[in-house]
Structure 1
Amino acid sequence: MRRAHKTNTLVIISNHVKSIYDDRWEGNTLHYTGMGTNGDQSLSFAQNKTLAESGSNGVGVHLFEVFRDKEYTYVGEVTLCGSPYQEPQPDVNGDSRLAYIFPLKVALGSRVVSQDNLQALEKKRSKAAKALSDETLKERAAKSRKQPGTFKQEATQYERSIWVAEYAKRQAGGICQLCLQPAPFHNAKGEPYLETHHITWLARGGEDTIENTVALCPNCHKKMHIVDDRQDVLTLQQRTRHVDTA
């Protein structure tokens, strides 16, 4: 946290890359960890007091998030939406201590996260969850909100050719072009359900062409985006070349 007396503002940073603090979003609420890296935290310590009293002291609180090292994304002005509370967190030495958590919400509008930043955040949160003990994980899960919140996401959408997609599905003939198994089910029209996939992703400069488009079962399609195995890519490239020259 950084206090600016000249502008009567407080800048807070939620670093998802390098930080001992366990900041987390639950719906539209950021549960932000207070200052103090060693031992129990105090509400009378430094800017913890400023943030705790921000609802009445006239100080504007502005939030930045870090999804990549040394890149700061401005979220907006935030306000307290609940009373600060304590929870156990490890300190800089790895010892358990009581940290103060500040529930915060964006004052105007809503939080906007780019697709890349969202993926980075989810990866970070998943890694953190895996490191928790069963007891702590159960406690966190029990305290989570039953209804998920919402936020705006920035994403690049590609206008793909319907002709290319239909051609790929017809060439596949109801058979996944990776695992070579029949489509796992049929859609409401009785057609084998396959999903089109660009061998070289459009986000990586791939072309929306019949040479770069295949039809996959949902399982293989997910695998291509999660595992991204080079041998699978080569296999699909070889099979599309074979179809193209047949």
Structure 2
Amino acid sequence: MSWGFEKGRVYNRRASIHAPFGGQQQGGIITPAKHNLVIIVTGEEGLEHGYHDKWTVDGSFEYFGEGQVGDMKMDKGNLSIASHSVRGKSLLLFTKLKSGLRFDSEMIYEDHKIVRAPDRLENIRDAIVFILRPIEAVFEHVEGVPVGSPQTAKSLDDLRKRAFAASVQKPSKNQVTTSVFERSRDVRDYVVARSLGKCEGCGNDAPFARPNGVPYLEPHHIRRLTDGGPDDPRYVIALCPNCHRRVHSGSDGADYNGTLLEKMKVIEPAAPN
């Protein structure tokens, strides 16, 4: 469940999205001003504007950006998709049906490509196609790759540079060079290494070690409701399982999350030069 939405359930756009979150009443990209949230909608209606959204064989989803006439530009709603991770915003995908909007998955932006496609007037133009992946697929893949052991991990400084580079990967017209899986691992590995084996929430030692000897701590994304994927390391904190459960399930979870945000101002005050 992401932001209260259940996968596969159909929702009324006005009652379930605009009433609680706000955002644009029209169009396929909704960017509520007061919430760390970007909502995208796919469906057959987009075909008349030259949009051919689709799932691919590798499990990614190709989503056409907005812009009905002329070349699409990387601004407004399109930029909100490409920059959602670094801005700490969740990206939710819905499919428009006759009965409402079906929630499909929370997604992570991996990259985008430029393709030649017709616009609403049937003129061929440059169209932006976003390559997105379900966040659960990213999380499961990263969890399946062990955190680097103390004997093989790169220096903390190098890990830090890689993590920040992963969090601010700029959209480009080039093919994917660093996958969202690699970028997610870079952030996770740095955050765990930065902790030096102690929970960055309560300060206690990690409760146990992983099979390769690395202290067991869990990365928590402070600005997002769902953990996983690339993010700015200044907003990802290494927590013991107890602190992690507290922030997600405790009665004081929201307040504790605010406390963790304040701690991060000391733990990770600035990005590397």
Q: TM-score range by the shorter chain?
A: 0.3 to 0.5
Larger strand share, 1 or 2: 1
Of structures 1 and 2, the one scoring higher in RCO (CA 8 A, sep 6+) is 2
Give the TM-score, by structure 1 length. 0.41
Larger Cα-atom Rg: 1
